[in-house]
Structure 1
């Protein structure tokens, strides 16, 4: 369907060794945050969504298949 809606970038699949993984760790692993401090700032500034909902806990537990979004960038943990 063509239209005026911009297309969103695809959801990147990020391999993880085990689940759950903490949100802060995943943000770094997926390259959505530069480091732990940046991950904390993103979460505290309410810039992170998990499965379409605002997530304000850096220690929130993610499982394979969850979708993490920061702005237009989206990533999903998948078991390696």
Structure 2
């Protein structure tokens, strides 16, 4: 699967998804923010991940286009494929 990643805002990486939503843990892996699902799980449970500026400890939180995720000093924005 090819992933097209583009930068729009300084420091924010757009990550297009092909579905209506993606779960937070899956998004971190899909965006290459973390190397493994285990690391994503640990970071989320520890409160090291923010969604739209608020700490999120729910691995299964549904992210939709427009949502922003921050962790490990990086920022990613969920976008719809083709946006």
Could you tell me the TM-score, scaled by structure 2's length?
0.82
Structure with max Cα Rg: 1
Query: How many residue pairs were aligned?
Result: 72
RMSD: 1.0
Structure 1 unaligned residues grouped into runs of 5+: 1-8
Q: Which runs of 4+ in 1 moved over 2 A?
A: none
Structure 2 unaligned residues grouped into runs of 5+: 1-9
Could you tell me the TM-score, scaled by structure 1's length?
0.85
Alignment deviations for residues 28-64 of structure 1 (CA, whole Å, 9 cap, x no partner): 0111111110110110111000000000000000000
Larger relative contact order (CA 8 Å, sep ≥ 6): 1
